[in-house]
Amino acid sequence: MTAVLMDGKALAAEITERLRAQVDRMKSDGVVPTLATVLVGDDPASRVYVSRKHRAAEAIGIGLRNYTLPENTAEGELTSLIESLNADGTVNGILLQLPLPSHLEQRRATEKIEPNKDVDGLTVTNAGRLVYGESDLIPCTPRGVMELLHHYSITVESAQVVIVNRSMLVGKPLHHLLLNEDATVTVCHSKSSDLSSLTRDADILITAVGRRPEFVVTADMVKEGAVVVDVAMNRVEGKLVGDVDFEGVSKKASYITPVPGGVGPMTVAMLMQNTLVATTKQKRALVSPVAQQ
C-alpha cells in the first residue's frame, strides 16, 4: 500500500480563502477582526511561529497588534498587558506564544486571558466547555487535525484511535474531540508500557512526541492501512521532520500527513478561524441585549 498524502498546506490555503471572504464581509459591516500576539523573550522557534501567524493574518485581512516583551519580563507586567488587551474592545483575540521563559508560570499567565478572546482555547473555561462538547474556541492543533480527518473523509466513529501525547496543547483536547465524535480513544505518554502493541492496534494513529532521534514511529509500530497523523516537529540536521519514519510508514499506511506541510499549516489556519469565531462571539454579545428588547 502507498499512503495518500493528507495535504495540510493545500487545505489550509482553501480555508484561508474562505476566511478572507468572511473578513471582507465583516469589514463591509464595519468590523475589523483583530488579533493581538504576545511574545516574551527571544526563543528563535517562537519568533518563527509568531511571524507565520502574522503572515497568515495579513493574508486574510485580520488586524494585528504585535507585542514583544523582553526575556526578563516580570509576571506583573505580562498580566497588566493581558488585562489591558482583555479590556480593549478593538482586540478580539489574544495569542500568548508558548513556551514562556521559565520564570513565568504558563498556566497562570494563560488563565488571565478573557475566555472569549482565548483563541488558543487553553483557559480552564474553554477546556471545560470542550469536555462538555460545547466549545467554539478549540485549541488550534487538535482542531486542525480534526479538519484534516474530516476533509479526507476518514471515519472517526467507532475507530480505534491512539494518540501519543497527553499535553493540554495536543493530546488532551484531541482525546475529547475524538470521543465527542464516537471514536474509541487511547492516550499514551512517556510512561505507557509496550507502546508498540498499543500503536499497532490503531486505525488512526496520532503522534506528537518531538523527541527525535530517541522516539521514532517505525513501520512495525503501525497497523496495515492505518491513518497516520504526525503532529511533531523536530529539527534533524537542520531539516524539519516529525516523529514518523515517513518513507517506511507511508508504504503501510492508507493516509499519512507530511512534515512539513501537514498539521503545521492547519494549526495556523485554525488560529485565524478562531479569531473570526471570537470576533463573532464578541459582536453577538454586544448586540444581543438590544436584539432582545
Residues binding ligand NAP (CB under 6 A): 141, 164-167, 169-171, 188-192, 195, 208-211, 215, 231-233, 263-264, 267
Nearer to ligand NAP, 19 or 49 (CB): 49
Smallest distance from the beta carbon of 228 to ligand NAP, in angstroms? 14
- Length of the chain, in residues: 293
Nearer to ligand NAP by Cβ, of 36 and 209: the residue is 209
| Nearer to ligand NAP (CB atom), residue 195 or residue 276 | 195
For the bound state, the minimum distance from the C-beta of residue 88 to ligand NAP, rounded and expressed in Å, comes to 27
From the list 22, 112, 118, 120, the catalytic residue is 120
In the chain, how long is the greatest CA-to-CA distance?
64
Which is nearer to ligand NAP, 158 or 167 (by Cβ)?
167
**Three cell numbers, residue 199:** 500503536
Q: Is 120 a catalytic residue?
A: yes
What is the distance between the alpha carbons of residues 283 and 278, in angstroms, rounded to a whole number? 9
- 96: which residues sit within 8 A by CB, 6+ positions away? 38, 82, 109, 110, 113, 120
- Look at the alpha carbons of 183, 187, 188, 192 in this order and tell me if their dihedral is positive or negative: negative
- What is the closest distance, in whole angstroms, from the C-beta atom of residue 270 to ligand NAP in the complex? 9
Measured distance CA(22)–CA(124) in Å, rounded: 29
Residue nearest to ligand NAP (CB): 210
Please report how close the Cβ of residue 91 comes to ligand NAP at its closest, in angstroms.
Answer: 23
The single-letter DSSP state of residue 122 is -
Q: Which residues contact 156 (CB under 8 A, 6 or more apart)?
A: 149, 178, 181, 182, 183, 204
Active-site residue, from 53, 112, 117, 252: 53
From the CB of 233, what's the least distance to ligand NAP, in Å? 4
Looking at the Cβ atoms of 49 and 91, the one nearer to ligand NAP is 49
**Residue corresponding to grid cell 462538547:** 133
What amino acid positions are annotated as catalytic residues? 53, 97, 120
